Chain A
Amino acid sequence: MRLDLESLGLEEGADILLRRALRRLAPAESLEVVGNHPELRLHLRAWARTMGVAADFTAPHTHRLTPNAAGLPTERAGAAPPEGVVESPPRHWGLAARGAAVERGSAGFDFGLVDKLEIWSDDAARLYARAAAAQWDPQTAIDWHQPVAHDDDIETAVVQVMTYLIENETAALLVPARFAATIHPHFREVLQLLAIQAADEARHMEVFTRRALLRHTAPGVSTSGGQASLKTLVTEPDFAIASFLLSVMGEGSFLVLLDFLAREGPDPITRDICRLAAQDEARHVAFGLSHLRRHAAQDATLRPRLAMAMQRRHAELMHTSGLNELVFEALTVIAAGGFEPAMIAGGHAKIMRLQTDMDLARQGSLIRLGFGEAEARALSSLHTRNFM
């Protein structure tokens, strides 16, 4: 093959043409390079030396380059479309785009999650696209000037619930963020989904904080029982179990709670932020269910492991107070809308119904994961009294 560089020098891009030509050579073929840049031979010699290319300058005007036989072999990292995902991508594919030609000799990464079975969902791409399209701007999606007219006792209840929501959303950010950092990027759609899930939670933290501080100068109380419950989530090392406890059980319960607050919140801002947050949480639950159903269909040991995880967490949290009285009281006050005994009774009944609705939602999810009705009922009753 012959390459005429004309007056182009290696300092101004001739190496692009050289590499392109070298890639196209047949095995054992040489590249004849000509050109009239005054320093072509000098530059070619220096360049070829560092590229591992043999250079022959014995002919007067034609320089002959022969790639080192060692070359740089590459291998395809699966194929670009979702159907090209492989079961266990090797760690040395690293951060390469799926389907890229990866040079051998690339450094391996210590990804912890490398099995399609554990993390993949055929829904991931669709859910990611939906999430990307549904991102909302906390500044403009909510009219922060809407009136908050209720008395301060009700506001105190709202602030306490917001305080509780903030720490739960923080846990819901940390869990996907932690696993995102350990998933093999070959599973790009899942990684993107977890990242946008973390971004959703970041927005939730923002709007709940902003709502808490709308009239008060500080958030309410953070209880040790609530944090103990969340700690078991944040520190759970197994992706399937963490995803089950957080997305299916926790966020599934939370979805019902946010819907409740979107209806019963005492002011339009509270109702709006809970409605927007609930839309996001629904996607998180959908992904959790989707990949766990796929996993359970291929791995008969998964369901027993999930059941054991619920029992273990229940045993771990038995000594804690679960949903703290302050949050329970605050939710009741919000549902009551006032402090007349009859109003409190009405509020209390609504919270009882809320808990039943959460229980039914969890049972529904468990049944969708393949658990029997009786088992679903039993397992749901073990769910943390903190809701998340």
Chain B
Amino acid sequence: MTDRIILGAVAYDPKVVTIWEGFKDFFQVQGLAFDYVLYSNYESQVRGHWGGQCNIAWNSPLAWVEAERLATRHGRRAHAIAMRDTDRDLASVVVVRKGAGIDSIAGLKGKRIATGAEDSPQATLIPLEVLAAEGLLPGRDFELIRYDIGLGKHGDHVGGERDAAKALMAGSADACCILDANRLLFAREGTLPTGVTKVLAETGLFDHCNFTIFDDAPQALIHRFTELLLAMRFDDPAVRPLLELEGLKQWLPGRASGYALLNSAVDRAGGLDHFLPS
């Protein structure tokens, strides 16, 4: 497997095949031997990556944390080599209905809070971590209503967040946790109008997906892969459709500094073993 890049990706949507087939064509035209394998969930991908089925993985933030902790446990290192411009500096928000008498995080005590899937960093893990830091724990201080859509796909499926927003509007929840971009999206489409709802709290900034490698990855191939990726231009007709499908204008170098909030959330949930039982 040292003669080519084999990328692991999670098939969270049928378009994933279109995306990676397109990348395969692009890299082949550039002379880089490239193939990909698809997984139905991130845990299988992290295990497959660790087991050598692929040498790069397109990881969700939680999959990155899992891969990094797995490597550390074995005295190895994981590296984030590239990410989308849209993967940097995200935030999540806790939204409540206006006039519901909830004006602070403390006001959520005894209330019902709707979140996305259990393994969604943006719609569950990170917002709940922020609430926990303020002393509010699910089950003890508030009722958690989780919308476990697409478990294993780490919240890539927006359905869980949408259901949480709908629950807030329907009155079956008193608050919902969603990504900042979805706050804007749901406001625009009318699912969560700003006139009748408000942002109660905002999490700190965090990063999203990245291309992850372990320290035994073939260096020359990885170097070439990264070089080609960072040189992709949005105004290049050959690559633009792929960038649009993948939701970015520009690839940026990877960084591991944007996962502190998620790491705290993983610690609180029980660490790596909770998400990736050995």
Give the interface of A toward B (CB within 8 A). Answer: 9-11, 38-39, 42-43, 45-47, 49-52, 68, 70-73, 92, 103-108
Encode contact with A along B88-118: 1 for CB under 8 Å, 0 otherwise.
Answer: 1111010000000000000000000000000
Is B154 an interface position by the 8 A CB rule?
no
With A42-B91, A42-B183 in contact, is A49–B86 under 8 Å at CB? yes
Q: A49 vs B180: C-alpha distance in the bound complex, in angstroms?
A: 11
Beta-carbon contact of B233 and A70 below 8 Å: yes
Query: Which of A11, A42, A52, A71 has the most chain B CB atoms closer than 10 A to its own CB?
Result: A11
Closest chain A CB from B193 CB (angstroms): 8
Contact of B235 among A9, A38, A42, A105 (CB under 8 A): A105
Encode contact with A along B225-248: 1 for CB under 8 Å, 0 otherwise.
Answer: 000000001111100110000010
Encode contact with A along B156-191: 1 for CB under 8 Å, 0 otherwise.
Answer: 000000000000000000000001110110011000
Beta-carbon contact of B234 and A105 below 8 Å: yes
Beta-carbon contact of A11 and B234 below 8 Å: no
Q: A319 vs B236: C-alpha distance in the bound complex, in angstroms?
A: 54
Q: A38 vs B91: C-alpha distance in the bound complex, in angstroms?
A: 16
Beta-carbon contact of B85 and A52 below 8 Å: yes
Main secondary structure of the interface of B (DSSP, over half): mixed
List residues of B (24-39) whose CB comes within 8 Å of A's CBs. none
Beta-carbon contact of A11 and B187 below 8 Å: yes
Q: A318 vs B233: C-alpha distance in the bound complex, in angstroms?
A: 58
Closest chain A CB from B30 CB (angstroms): 18
Beta-carbon contact of A49 and B183 below 8 Å: no
Beta-carbon contact of B194 and A9 below 8 Å: yes
Beta-carbon contact of B237 and A43 below 8 Å: no
Beta-carbon contact of B234 and A45 below 8 Å: no
Q: Which residues of the other chain, A, contact B181 by a CB distance below 8 angstroms?
A: 46, 49-50
Q: Which residues of the other chain, A, contact B194 by a CB distance below 8 angstroms?
A: 9, 11, 38-39
Q: Which residues of the other chain, B, contact A92 by a CB distance below 8 angstroms?
A: 237
Contact of A47 among B90, B179, B184 (CB under 8 A): B184
Closest chain B CB from A177 CB (angstroms): 29
Is B199 an interface position by the 8 A CB rule?
yes
Is B249 an interface position by the 8 A CB rule?
yes
Beta-carbon contact of A42 and B249 below 8 Å: no
Contact of B188 among A11, A42, A51, A73 (CB under 8 A): A11
Contact of B85 among A38, A43, A49, A103 (CB under 8 A): A49
Q: Which residues of the other chain, B, contact A10 by a CB distance below 8 angstroms?
A: 184, 188
Q: A114 vs B247: C-alpha distance in the bound complex, in angstroms?
A: 33
With A43-B183, A52-B249 in contact, is A70–B234 under 8 Å at CB? yes
With A9-B194, A50-B86, A52-B249 in contact, is A45–B237 under 8 Å at CB? no
Is B40 an interface position by the 8 A CB rule?
no
Is B198 an interface position by the 8 A CB rule?
yes
Q: A72 vs B183: C-alpha distance in the bound complex, in angstroms?
A: 27
Q: Which residues of the other chain, A, contact B237 by a CB distance below 8 angstroms?
A: 92, 104-108
Contact of B90 among A43, A49, A72, A104 (CB under 8 A): A49
Q: A39 vs B183: C-alpha distance in the bound complex, in angstroms?
A: 10
Is B264 an interface position by the 8 A CB rule?
no
Output the nearest chain B residue to A108 by Cβ-Cβ distance. B237
With A49-B86, A50-B247, A105-B235 in contact, is A42–B202 under 8 Å at CB? yes
Q: Which residues of the other chain, A, contact B247 by a CB distance below 8 angstroms?
A: 50
Output the nearest chain A residue to B182 by Cβ-Cβ distance. A46
Beta-carbon contact of A42 and B93 below 8 Å: yes
Output the nearest chain A residue to B179 by Cβ-Cβ distance. A46
Is B53 an interface position by the 8 A CB rule?
no
Output the nearest chain A residue to B85 by Cβ-Cβ distance. A52
A-B contact pairs, 20 of them (CB 8 A): A11-B188, A11-B193, A39-B183, A39-B194, A42-B91, A42-B93, A42-B199, A43-B180, A46-B180, A47-B184, A49-B86, A49-B88, A49-B90, A50-B181, A51-B249, A70-B234, A73-B235, A92-B237, A105-B235, A107-B241
Is B250 an interface position by the 8 A CB rule?
yes
Output the nearest chain A residue to B236 by Cβ-Cβ distance. A105
Output the nearest chain B residue to A45 by Cβ-Cβ distance. B180
Encode contact with A along B246-275: 1 for CB under 8 Å, 0 otherwise.
Answer: 010110000000000000000000000000
Q: A9 vs B249: C-alpha distance in the bound complex, in angstroms?
A: 24
With A42-B91, A52-B85, A107-B241 in contact, is A70–B235 under 8 Å at CB? yes
Q: A268 vs B110: C-alpha distance in the bound complex, in angstroms?
A: 87
Q: Which residues of the other chain, B, contact A103 by a CB distance below 8 angstroms?
A: 235
Q: A153 vs B89: C-alpha distance in the bound complex, in angstroms?
A: 85
Q: A177 vs B184: C-alpha distance in the bound complex, in angstroms?
A: 44
Output the nearest chain A residue to B84 by Cβ-Cβ distance. A49
Q: A108 vs B237: C-alpha distance in the bound complex, in angstroms?
A: 8
Beyond A46-B179, A70-B233, 14 additional pairs, beta carbon < 8 A: A11-B184, A11-B188, A38-B194, A42-B184, A45-B180, A46-B184, A49-B181, A52-B85, A70-B234, A72-B234, A103-B235, A104-B235, A105-B237, A106-B237
Q: A39 vs B178: C-alpha distance in the bound complex, in angstroms?
A: 14
Closest chain B CB from A361 CB (angstroms): 48
With A49-B89, A105-B240 in contact, is A9–B198 under 8 Å at CB? no
